[in-house]
Amino acid sequence: MCFVKDMNYISVVINAIVVALMAIYVYQNEKRMEEIAAKHNQTGNITTAILNSQSDMLQEILKAVRRDNSTIILREVAHGKPAEQSSVYGGVYSAPRAVDGNLNTIMHTNIEQSPYWMVDLGKNYQIKRIEIFNVNDGAKSTGERLHDLDIIVGPSHNTMHLCAHYVGPAQIGFHLLFERLHDENVRYVKLMIQGKEYLHVAEVKIYAVHDRSS
């Protein structure tokens, strides 16, 4: 019986602590909302301001929520970055076409041993996801050229390692998604086919952990 009484007492204490912590959390968040409102000279019900998705005040609130949120925020970091490839088919289908944001343009190498494409992200990132869009037009055999594909990453040309591999073959219009990557200090991302083949893709998107300090 003493044990039961002790357990009841402990339960009451724990509940009291939980209630106190919740009260502190609510108070701190109310203070934060008041500070944001004061910064933008807003008065009245803050809920009304939230309804205005274009307001500066809402953006500040969203930033505050994100700072408290443990969810990782990703951003695409390859668009428009310098790129190169092992050869250029017809002198036209160059490397930057794979990071131009247009799925109707493609990069395309000649048929050769171990053709590659590589992008320079400009600085080191913590990579979490890579998306590759295969060509969206052509014969069935054209789409199937994307096979035995290595994705190689690293902070410099001399310190790169295998990040992922796609056996394939792909098909016309395939969207390849490589997630749950945990590569840090990545500046260069390279696509390379094992064997003698053409390499051509419509777009490459690379997502990294967003630097909240920037």
Q: What is the pTM of this model?
A: 0.66
pLDDT in tens, the chain (214 residues): 433 345 455 555 555 564 555 555 545 555 554 554 454 444 444 333 334 444 555 555 555 544 544 567 899 999 999 999 999 999 999 999 999 999 999 999 999 999 999 999 999 999 999 999 999 999 999 999 999 999 999 999 999 999 999 999 999 999 999 987 878 889 999 999 999 999 999 999 999 998 765 5
The reported pLDDT for the residue numbered 45 is 40
What's the CA gap between 84 and 107, in Å, rounded? 10
Joined together, the tokens standing for residue 49 give: 């301001």
Residue reference for tokens 């190169």: 84
What pLDDT, on the 0 to 100 scale, is given for residue 211?
72
Res 49: pLDDT? 37
Nearest CA-CA partner of 128 in 168, 192, 47, 73: 73
What pLDDT is recorded for position 22? 53
Which sequence spans correspond to the domains of the chain? 2-68, 74-209
CATH T-level fold of 74-209: Jelly Rolls (2.60.120)
Q: Which helix (H) or strand (E) holds 108?
A: strand 107-108
Strand partners for 203? 133
What local confidence, expressed as pLDDT, does residue 132 receive? 97
Q: Which residue reads 């998306």 in tokens?
A: 131
Q: Which of 84, 78, 91, 106 is nearest to 200 (CA)?
A: 106
